[in-house]
Every structure is written in C-alpha cells, then in structure tokens.
Amino acid sequence: MFKHILLPTDGSELSAAAINHGVRLAKAIGAQVTGLSVMPFQHTLLYEMEIPTKGQEKEAKQCKV
C-alpha cells in the first residue's frame, strides 16, 4: 500500500500524536518514514525603509535551519 510516509511536525501536542500514529502505521506495513519539522517564519520588525544587508543574511540563515 504505502511505501514511504512523510510525517511533518510543528512541535504541537497534536502533531506529536499524529507522528506516533504514523510511526505505528509505518511499522505495521513496513513503510519508510521521513520526518519534517515545520514552523512559521518570524519576520523581524524594522523601522527602516530597506532591510540592512546583515538583516537579510540573518533572515536567510533562519530560513535554512
């Protein structure tokens, strides 16, 4: 049936419960599991018209983590 299951999480209790069920399902059917941690992007509030270069680099690094 399923060969590979993606289990995303946002760190909430509800997603933790979903992961537990997903892992049990994967074990039962012999599927591979891939986990993915997801969180909303936090924009830095700036009072300038343009984001300074250092701010852009910091935001880019946070997106890659």
pTM confidence score = 0.57
**4-59: pLDDT as tens digits:** 999 998 888 999 999 999 999 999 999 999 999 877 666 666 555 565 666 667 76
pLDDT digit string (tens) for 46-62? Answer: 555 565 666 667 767 76
Number of structural domains in the chain: 1
pLDDT, residue 50, reads 60
Residue range(s) defining the domain that contains residue 51: 4-64
- Whether the CB-CB separation of 39 and 10 falls below 8 Å is answered with yes
Q: How far apart are CA 51 and CA 21, in angstroms?
A: 43
**What backbone torsions phi and psi does residue 52 show, to the nearest 5 degrees?**
-60, 155
